[in-house]
Structure formats: C-alpha cells, structure tokens
Amino acid sequence: MSVVTSGRYTFPSYNLVFFIFLQLGLHSVEGVWPLPQSITSSPERYPLNPQAFYFTYGSQSAAQEGCSVLDEAFKRYFSLIFPDYSSGYGFLRFSVDKPFTVQVSVGRDDCDSYPDEDSSEQYTLSVSAGQASLKAETVWGALRGLETFSQLVYQEDFGSYYVNKTEIKDFPRFQFRGILLDTSRHYLPVQAILKTLDAMAFSKFNVFHWHIVDDPSFPYQSRTFPDLSAKGAFHPMTHIYTQSDVGRVISFARMRGIRVLPEFDSPGHTQSWGKGKNSVKLPTSSQSDLLTPCYSGSSPSGTFGPVNPILPSTYKFMATLFKEVSSVFPDSYIHLGGDEVNFSCWKSNPDVRAFMLKMGFGADFTKLEAYYMENIVNITVALNRTSIVWQDVFDYHERIPKDTVLHIWKGLPASYAAELSAITKAGYRVLLAAPWYINHISYGQDWRNYYTVQPLNFSGTEEQKKLVIGGEVCMWGEYVDATNLTPRLWPRASAAAERLWSDEKQTSDVDKAFPRLQDFRCELLRRGIQAEPLFVGHCKHEYQGV
C-alpha cells in the first residue's frame, strides 16, 4: 500500500466555541471545472486532516506502488490539496482523529507508456465518510479523477479542510483537447512551458501542440543538423531547446497525461531554416538550396521563399530530419503545417516554372504545393507516423492519406462550419482551432466567446460529426512571451476546456458558467497560476507571485 501524507508537524487541538458554528454551517460544493458528465453532491461533508490523509492503491488495481505516474501524482495532489500544510505555513488548524483515504484503482497497468489518441480518460469517483473511491481503466483516467477530487476539497476561513459527499461519473466529450504554444516568434523558457503544462492538467487538456519552429527562429537543436539552431535561433546558446530540454518537457507532460505533438511547418514559415542551409549536410549530398531563390526579372534577388519543392535533395533532407523528430517525440502524430504558402517566389523562379511544365502543373501553383506536401506526408507514413496538416492542404485538393487529420484555423463561424462540413464529408478527421485563437484578446469578458463555441454545429450526418476528434486553443507568439503568456492564456483557455470536455447541453448557459469559472480562476491563483480576472471581484487566495 502506497501512502502519501506527512507527520512532521503537530498542530494543537483548539476547543473553541466558534468551531461548533463552523461545523454546523453547510458548504455548497464548488463547481468542478470542467464540469463532469454526471455529478451528484450532498451538503453532508467530511473533515480532512493532512496528518491523517492518504492516497492508496486498491487491492485489485492493476497498478500498484512503483507506478511512477500515480506515485508522483499522489505527492503532487497532496501538495495541491493542502498547500499551507505542505509549506509549513502557519494557518490555524483543528486536529481531526478520523483518517481519510483516497483509494485509486485502475484496470490496466500502463504506467510506463505514453498517453495516445486511444487512451481512455473515463473515471468514477465516490466520496463518502472516511474515504473516496476512484476507479479508472487507465492511469490517465485516474489522473483526471485526482484533479477532480482536488477541486472538491475546500478550506474554511480558519484553516479546516472539508470535502462533501459526492458521486461522479466522468469522461471527455472529445478525445483531442489541445493547446498550441508558439516558441519561434518569441522564445519561451522551458519553465514557462512546464508551468503551462501544469495549468493544462488542471483544466484537463491532454495535448500540447508544440509549434516549435517558424520563420523568426529555429530553437529546436537538431542532433543531425545542429546548424539549423546554431544559425537559425535567436541565440545559439540561450534561446534553444536542447535534446535534454525536449525530453524534460515530454516527461513532465507524460506525468500529467498530456501528449506532446511537434509541428515542423513547411514549405512556408521556414525562413529560419534557411539560415543554416549552407552548412546543413547529408551523408550523400549538400543541402545548400533548402529554400527557393527568388528572382527579380532574370536575376536572383538575393532573397528566398518557401522550401524548394523541385530538388530531390529537399526530400532527402526532410526524410532525415523527420526520422530524428520521430525518434525524439514518442507521439504517433506529427504536425506538418502546410499553411500560408506565398507562391510569388516560386512564380519568379525559372527553374520552378520549368519543373511545373515538365510535371504538367501548368501555372497552378497549388498543384506544386500539393506535390510537395504529398511527398512530405509519405515520409511520415514511412516512419509509421500519422500526419496533421492545416486546412490549406485540403483546400488545395491535395492527395493525402485518409488517416491524415485536417486542422481548421480560418474564418468566422459560418466559414469554419462550412469547412467542417466539407472535410468530414470527404471522410477526413478534423480538429477545430479557428474560434480559439486566444492571442487575439479584447477588452471585457471575451472568454464568453470561447465558451459558446459549438464545434458540431455544422451541416452533416452523425457519422460526419464523429470525425471531429476535438479542438485546440492557439497562443501565437507575435505579442506573447514569458512575461504575459500565463495571464493571457488563463482562464480564457479554461472556457474552451469545458467546451471540449463537458456535455454541451449541461454547459449551454454562459451566465451559469461565470461563477464556476470565477471559482476556478481563484483556484488557479491558489496554485500559483497567474490567471487574469474575469470581472470585478476578489479571491480568498490572491496571487502571491508579485
């Protein structure tokens, strides 16, 4: 039996008259965020004493002590539930003799695996006198249940902790619930990424989409092509992600049931790639023309455009790079980008135009991009990886495998609804990001816009709607770095989290959601997450990081 508790500190028992009134007062259970599929609570409540509080494994659990994911989660959630006790901070407490045990049972021992697209996150939680029973098929479901339990616990003004009698059955509405961070336009220190992963777990997000490189910088330190970051990063020593850094992020995410999805966007958004092009070497060839030379009339202009799609060496380079990426990132998905390709440079280049005539593309440069993306997708297929691409790839009628996931990023509701309809009608799975570009902030309660999104509100059959596998919050980095990442992201992202996790009918009233989200925002502050206020008000535990 694994036990997480602490007996280092002994606190006196105070027999005070007002304690009676404290005990008699009924506390309404604060809303869990995101809202569980089914929750029944009672005014009946049970006191918790950190000196007599335990996490244990059920006797029939497939995972037992030594399961790193749950062992670490027990320690982490003990500190989250009892932060004052964990820090030794001197709140007044009342000694409670009765122990309380949270017994966790999982049906499958997947402690050493990584979460994937098929991982079950379903759990049941039953809280009664002296105990809570948490059951899940996987450790990932158990993590979601532990997060829910931690939000059920509350602390009264004089320091005593309580939890109410509660029954919960819960599972996510969508399997993919992601957050994109852009680490190219501004470098984000590893610690900022880890803090975001913590906050993601609090909101039950399960995919970290790492838009790791782009035009401005190439911070990923490739072991195969080190000059990509040496020449393409903002700084080759301080503004890079080493292999160790990447491994640390992946491990930290795994312990919270979060997948790490890397994106290496091409053929556009690759200006930083070209900075290291003259020293990027392959075993059999020099890749000195990774980017397309642009022309002014009949002469090179000295500038470069998207990746050069006409050279065999381009695909040798990409095959080598993605072989490395697939060995570093364990997830079965790789995001290949494919968006916003400016064709003007390709149009100016006589070699590109000659290649297009040879291939029968005429003057249709969307066919040239299709040719490029089809080759890149085939590279990832050979690596046994599934590709995610931005919607542009579909819009250009490119031939891509049916297991490719299309990522919608453009337009207002009418526009992305039409795209959802078209993509799913063609039989492709789809992710929705268009309504959740939360780097586009506005004055006021803009979280309401993110909360009221209806991902399945488009014309299509039930079979089509099953192809919508989830959605993603995007935090692009033009105006975001570590100084404003957290308050800009939270609690706005949490609004999308509930839309992606919870039942739509139960969460259709944005006004009813407001007080629950306020409570959750206060809980984020208590946990050290610098979440912005939703409106006028205060939190019992104000942010202490300033």
Q: Tell me the H-state helices in 110-164.
A: 139-152
Catalytic residue among 117, 156, 167, 340: 340
Task: Answer whether residue 375 shows pLDDT above 50.
Answer: yes
Alpha carbon 532 to its chain centroid, in Å, reads 19
Site of tokens 């002296």: 130
Site of tokens 């027990």: 74
CA 472, 380, 400, 417: dihedral to nearest 10 degrees? 0
Domains of the chain: residue spans and CATH: 17-170 (3.30.379.10), 176-476 (3.20.20.80)
Site of tokens 């039950």: 204
Site of tokens 């290291």: 276
Largest CA distance in the chain: 92
Output phi, psi for 485, to 5 deg. -60, -55
Burial class (CB in 10 A: 0-12, 13-18, 19+), 48: buried
| Six token digits for residue 428 | 């492709």
Kindly provide the residue ranges of all beta strands, DSSP E only, lying in 36-140, ordered along the sequence: 38-48, 53-57, 100-106, 123-128, 131-136
| Six token digits for residue 271 | 């200006």
Pairing of strands 154-155, 161-170: antiparallel
Tell me what pLDDT residue 412 has.
87
Lowest mean pLDDT among 141-145, 273-277, 425-429, 430-434: 273-277
Kindly provide the residue ranges of all beta strands, DSSP E only, lying in 322-378, ordered along the sequence: 333-337
- What confidence tens digit (pLDDT) does each residue in 77-117 have? 999 999 887 554 444 445 555 899 999 999 999 999 999 99
Cα–Cα distance between 165 and 40 in angstroms, integer?
8
- What confidence tens digit (pLDDT) does each residue in 460-492 have? 999 999 999 999 999 999 999 999 999 999 999
Mean pLDDT, residues 336-342 taken together? 95
- What confidence tens digit (pLDDT) does each residue in 514-527 have? 999 999 999 999 99
Task: Answer whether residue 27 shows pLDDT above 70.
Answer: no
Q: Give the mean pLDDT of the chain.
A: 90
Residue with the larger pLDDT of the pair 185 and 91? 185
Task: Answer whether residue 21 shows pLDDT above 60.
Answer: no
Tell me what pLDDT residue 282 has.
45
Q: Which of the four pLDDT bands, split at 50, 70 and 90, describes residue 12? A: very low
Residue with the larger pLDDT of the pair 498 and 22? 498
Q: Which amino acid is at 84?
A: D
Q: Is 472 a catalytic residue?
A: no
Mean pLDDT, residues 319-336 taken together? 98
The residue among 146, 200, 164, 203 whose CA lies nearest residue 39 is: 164
